[in-house]
Amino acid sequence: MSHHDIPPSINIPSGLTIGYRATLLKERKETCLAHAENEINLEPGRHLLLARNGRGKTTLLKSVAGIIPTLSGKISSTGTIQFVDEDLRFDGEMTAKQIIKALFKKPQRQFAFEMAEKIELDIEKPYGKLSKGNRQKVGLIVAETRTQCRGNHILLLDEPFSGLDFAAREAVDRVWSENRDGIVRVVCVHPDEPTLKADSAIMIRSGQLEQIEVAGSLDWMETKEALS
């Protein structure tokens, strides 16, 4: 079996701790944000990441991506990883069309242009003149188009809906539903989403990382009390 045939996955072992290290006055200090008592396995599908602000959502995504180290334990994964930050930026003078043409070959460009039409992005407008939500759409299109390249993929999405209106969120959701084979999506979400489609969810509460089962969708109103 070639590595292209191995399904993408993320494994968070029991005992793993995420957080950050800092050096103050020559003294090294560790700040623990969350600890996994039990093993967590994420397979192809959509997995929500839920926590109150400052509890370690972005730190977990960056740890999976290998951007920052864990405090203990090692996260393992198979597949090409993309960390999609809500603050991703491109050259302000370039249009979305030019960005897509610069990054992708013709087979992938068609997918990108079709997605832009579905989520109502003006690809002829300079990136620097786009609203926050439309800049976010460019980042989502680039990330999604990269999954059209051969292999299996892991998308780590840090609050991808924060700048989008309801119609755009629904359009992105439809693209994700159509383009799901061979992709693990970990979606960090803000508590303004009333109902969220998912195959599972990772919660960070009381300093603990835990995975919960989801029957197709998660009602945030039923979940937020558990995060208090």
Q: Does the reported pTM lie above 0.85?
A: yes
CATH code assigned at 11: 3.40.50.300
- Work out the average pLDDT over 62-86: 94
Q: Is the pLDDT of residue 82 over 80?
A: yes
Q: What pLDDT does 4 receive?
A: 57
Query: Distance between CA atoms of 166 and 162, rounded to whole angstroms?
Result: 10
Residue 53 — pLDDT band, cuts 50, 70, 90?
confident
CB 199 within 8 A of CB 46: yes
CB 188 within 8 A of CB 15: no
Q: Token match 């957080």: residue?
A: 19
Q: Token match 């969120």: residue?
A: 169
Where b means 16+ CB within 10 Å and e means fewer, 65-101 reads beebebbebebebbbebbbbbbeeebeeebbbbbbbb
What is the domain extent for residue 106?
Answer: 3-227
Query: Distance between CA atoms of 228 and 209, rounded to whole angstroms?
Result: 14
